[in-house]
Amino acid sequence: MTPVERAHELRAQIRFHNERYYADDAPVVSDAEYDQLVRELAALEAELPELVDTESPSQLVGAGVLSTAFSPVTHRVPMTSLDNAMDAEELAAWGERIARGLNGEPARFVCELKIDGLAMSLRYEHGVFVQAATRGDGRVGEDVTANVATIASVPQQLVGAPPVLEVRGEVYLPIDAFERLKAAKQAENEVRVAAGRKPEPVPVNPRNAGAGSLRQKDPSITAERELAFWSYQLGDVEGAPEFTSHHETLEYLHTLGFPVNPEIRVVDSLDEVYAFCRHWQEHRHDLGYEIDGAVVKVDSLAQREQLGFTSRAPRWAIAFKFPPEERTTLLRDIQVSVGRTGRTTPFAVLEPVFVGGSTVGMATLHNEDQVRLKDVRPGDTVVVRKAGDVIPEVVGPVLAMRPEGLPAWEFPRLCPCPLQTELVRPEGEADTRCVEPECPFQRDQRIIYFGSRGAMDIEGLGDQTVLQLSEAGLVADPGDIYSLTREQLMGLEKWGTTKADNLLAAIEGSKSRPLPRVLTALGAKGLGPSASEAIARRFGTLDAVMAATEDELATTDGVGPTIAASIVRWFANPANRTIVEKLRVAGVDFGRVDISVLPPILAGKAVVVTGTLEGFNREEAEAAIKDRGGKSPGSVSAKTFAVVVGAEPGASKLTKAEALGVPVLDEAGFRHLLDTGELPE
């Protein structure tokens, strides 16, 4: 294909995707894939300037007014787009262009979060809200005044405003509101499916759901969607004070009553800019709303004037894009895995795709109902999401790209293990299970779980090693791990002295794990780390736990009757008792837990720790709270007694604490709390 042909093809694809994104709020590719198309076209046009066309998508902003549902609005000051930097190198190149454009004059920068929402222009005349318009193609947008008027964070009247004030910002859907909207649609789909009707598409992310909410013909529907707004720029203004910097305009907006994002920072160097970007790339999930990058702007308005614009974007600003957390790819197959308790989980086998910082070839589908409600089918193009360390998930299908006649997937009737036992779904439960005790898949998963990081933490005893040991007949339950010998391991394929000795040393080291780890590793259904710790603190030894009644276990804080019954059933099973005795003979420590002798001055109090403390690591801080009878949950609520804040705290925890009026303590205040049980005065 010649460069000219490729340019034509890229332009056609980009125009198609613009229409799906801007007009229909139903994109068929991820933002990252769209950006790749735009960057490829821009690179072609830069290499061959004769290909540049004024109507090329690379020279335009957005997609214009493509809907007849809303009236057009001409922007008196164009709403431009932003150029992108995808990494530190591209950010540095932008900084060099700024330096050249200013003839070496130093610049200050304003760093903002790039909200993943919908750009919006709000117009006020003599302090009264009169119009809201989308960006459109930058010159002409759509009139969405009636819908934006329903957003609680958009002021309807201003005190002390100039005759004309245009405020630009981002309309977005908070994550909590998105989850409620998604849950409501899923519940609606359950009713549809139960009635034999097809489920409707479920919102895949807050941006698309927010845009769809804003473009409702009925403003009362928009009002139900809990949209919000951040302001970040002035547009057309008459009679306002004179400003010399961008951050002054933000302060002005704040004094007028507009919401201005609290994470905005003014910095003096590009190194500080990159530190801001890197921090929020790591902490993007601490917020109550979606961001997909950071926006960096030259602060001086005079310097902005000097730098000017390209045909579509200001030279004085750039968007630093974070790695994509959503991509589209082909769903090759849906298979089923079997866990240690017999629970069967469908998972997607994908055409490998780079998302969330790694290449993903498989993703969870949770359970049978979720597959049916999402209506994903082998052969679909699907949206895959991987956020931080979260397990990759198939969000849903791209229905516009579904091949005609693609059959729905059916949950298998038989366990995929060699025994081919019939699967059972108990009435009232969402999970389908293999109930065959001899199922080899369950056996292997129990051993894998026993050695995992949250349990006995046996380095080197991962999935592949356990499967190799199992296939060789060397382990049939967790107790057999402790009878492995160097000779047995050396007899396995690709095992040498070093690998064998390292595993044996890790196994030996695991014998001294504390009782809560041992309880967790045994794998009674529902018995996780928190309940294991509470039980260990109360009963002290494994033998005491084994002798405890259901009532005694159930009255342990954080346990309850369901987990208590599960523990009693687990120890009543002769096969499980045999495992325990193997561990005892091997020398695994069932001894007492160090029970705190400190007075329970924090009894009944929940203290959340966020950020890095100088005198405690996270585990030590939480242990100090629990040793005094308190709790240290991972989230802030109205019942939280205090939040301890160290360096680089989670923004969402701090924000929520302030919103709920929960006391916030520094490290000195935390030490006072540990000493007295009381808040510092």
Single out the residue in 412, 432, 452 at which a domain terminates: 432
User: Is residue 516 within 8 Å of residue 533, measured between CB atoms?
Assistant: yes
Antiparallel, parallel or unpaired: β 84-85 and 317-321: parallel
Q: Tell which of 398, 432, 466 closes a domain.
A: 432
Angle 137-139-144 from CA coordinates, rounded to 5°: 75
Instruction: Mark whether 413 and 462 lie in a shared domain.
Output: no
The β-bridge partners of 433 are 343, 424
Domain count for the chain: 6
The answer to whether position 601 is within a domain reads no
Q: Is there a single domain that holds both residue 184 and residue 293?
A: yes
What's the mean pLDDT in 390-395? 84
Q: Looking at the domain assignment, is residue 10 inside a domain?
A: yes
Q: How far is CA 525 from the centre of its chain?
A: 27
Residues paired with 125 in a beta bridge: 128, 164
Burial class (CB in 10 A: 0-12, 13-18, 19+), 272: middle
In a domain, 66, yes or no: no
Letter string b/e over residues 146-163, b meaning 16 or more CB atoms within 10 A of that residue's CB: bbbbbbeebbeebeebbe
- Cα(109)–Cα(553) distance, integer angstroms: 58
Same domain, 172 and 264: yes
Element (H, E) at 657: helix 651-660
Averaged pLDDT for residues 345-350: 94
For the segment 518-560, what is each residue's pLDDT rounded down to a tens digit? 999 999 989 988 889 889 988 989 999 999 999 999 998 879 9
pLDDT in tens, 490-514: 999 999 999 999 999 999 999 999 9
Compute CA distances 472 → 270, 339, 465, whole Å.
57, 21, 11
557-576 b/e with 16+ CB inside 10 Å = b? eebeeebbbbbbebbeeeeb
Average pLDDT over residues 188-203: 84
The answer to the question of residue 258 being in a domain is: yes
Residue 659: per-residue pLDDT: 79
Q: Say yes or no to pLDDT of 62 above 60.
A: no
Mean pLDDT calculated for residue range 288-308: 95
Specify whether 220 is located in the same domain as 341.
no
Is-contact 118 134, C-beta < 8 A?
Answer: yes
Domain shared by 264 and 149, yes or no: yes
CATH number at residue 352: 2.40.50.140
Residue 102 falls inside a structural domain:
yes
Per-residue confidence band for 14, with pLDDT thresholds at 50, 70 and 90? confident
pLDDT at 23: 60
Window from 272-281, 480-489, 511-520, 524-533 with minimum mean pLDDT: 524-533
Among the candidates 540, 558, 586, a domain finishes at 586
Residue 193 sits in the same domain as residue 252: yes
**Triad 124, 129, 134: Cα angle to 5°:** 85
Q: Are residues 360 and 490 in the same domain?
A: no
Res. 100: pLDDT tops 60: yes
- Kindly report, residue by residue over 584-604, the tens digit of the pLDDT: 999 999 976 766 678 889 988
What is the percent of the chain with per-residue pLDDT over 70, rounded to a whole number?
94
Cβ atoms of 349 and 377 within 8 Å: the answer is no
- In this structure, what CATH number is given to the domain that contains residue 229? 3.30.470.30
pLDDT band at 44 (very low <50, low <70, confident <90, very high): confident
Does residue 122 sit in the same domain as residue 250?
A: yes
- Give per-residue pLDDT as tens, 368-387: 888 988 899 999 999 998 87
Residue 229 makes CB contacts below 8 A (sequence gap 6+) with 120, 148, 151, 153, 154, 169, 170, 171, 172, 259
- Choosing from 114, 605, 653, 656, the catalytic residue is 114
156, 88: one domain: yes
> Are 390 and 471 contained in the same domain?
no
pLDDT tens per residue, range 161-185:
999 999 999 999 999 999 999 888 8
DSSP helix/strand/coil, 338: strand
Per-residue confidence (pLDDT) for residue 369, from 0 to 100: 87
75 within domain boundaries: no
Determine the distance from the C-alpha atom of residue 602 to the mean position of all C-alpha atoms in its chain, rounded to a whole number.
32
Question: What gap in Å lies between CA 168 and CA 338, rounded to an integer?
Answer: 52
* DSSP for residue 22: I
Q: Is residue 599 part of a domain?
A: no
Co-location of 317 and 172 in the same domain: yes
Tell whether the model's pLDDT for residue 456 goes beyond 60.
Answer: yes
The closest of 101, 100, 138 to 121, measured between CA atoms, is 138
pLDDT of 595: 63
Structure tokens at 636: 């802030």
How far apart are alpha carbons 32 and 317 in whole angstroms? 20
57 vs 322 pLDDT, higher one? 322
Q: What is the mean pLDDT of residues 386-393?
A: 76
Provide the pLDDT for residue 65: 46
Identify any residues that bridge with 115 across adjacent strands, giving them in sequence order.
291
Q: What mean pLDDT value characterizes the chain?
A: 89
Asked whether residue 357 is domain-assigned, the answer is yes
The full DSSP string for 608-641 is: EEESB-SS--HHHHHHHHHHTT-B--SS--TTEE
Q: What number of other Cβ atoms are within 10 A of residue 246's Cβ?
A: 25
CATH number, domain containing residue 668: 3.40.50.10190
| 380 and 282 within one domain | no
Domain of 645 in residue numbering reads as 606-676
Among the ranges 1-10, 72-81, 587-596, which has the highest mean pLDDT value? 72-81
Q: Give first-to-last CA distance, the chain, whole Å.
A: 74
Q: What are the pLDDT digits (tens) for 230-253?
A: 999 999 999 999 999 999 999 999
What CATH number corresponds to the domain at position 569? 1.10.150.20
Angstrom distance (rounded) from CA 529 to CA 457: 13
185 part of the active site: no
pLDDT attached to residue 310: 84
- pLDDT of residue 53 exceeding 60, the answer is yes
Of 655 and 178, the structure prediction assigns the larger pLDDT to 178
